[in-house]
Amino acid sequence: MILYGFSIQGKGHIERGIVCQDSNKVKQMKSGHYIGIVADGVGSAAHSDIGSDIAVRSLFQYCNRHVKKGSSLDTMKDILLDGYSYALGQIE
């Protein structure tokens, strides 16, 4: 399976010299499940490009550690929700 993701700097950002604040990750976890994560950086916040990158990397790491082979959908939902809190903590 070919996995890829990309974020593109918009026209307005290019004209104003602003970096792309969005981040993404599409990867297979140790459990064998695939996950796609997207974070839309807050353009009005300083260093939102860094924050969105931390959010994506942290959420992937959390899910990769906690989702096990054969995990139920409900379990994965709970892990994902906990992962959001973990990622926010990493940003803060």
49-76 pLDDT per residue, tens: 899 999 999 999 999 999 999 999 999 9
pLDDT mean across residues, the chain: 90
52: how many CB neighbours lie within 10 A of its CB? 23
Q: Which amino acid is at 56?
A: V
Q: What is the pTM of this model?
A: 0.85
Between CA 49 and CA 63 the distance in angstroms is 22
Lowest mean pLDDT: which of 14-18, 24-28, 47-51, 78-82?
Answer: 14-18
Sequence ranges of the domains in the chain: 20-91
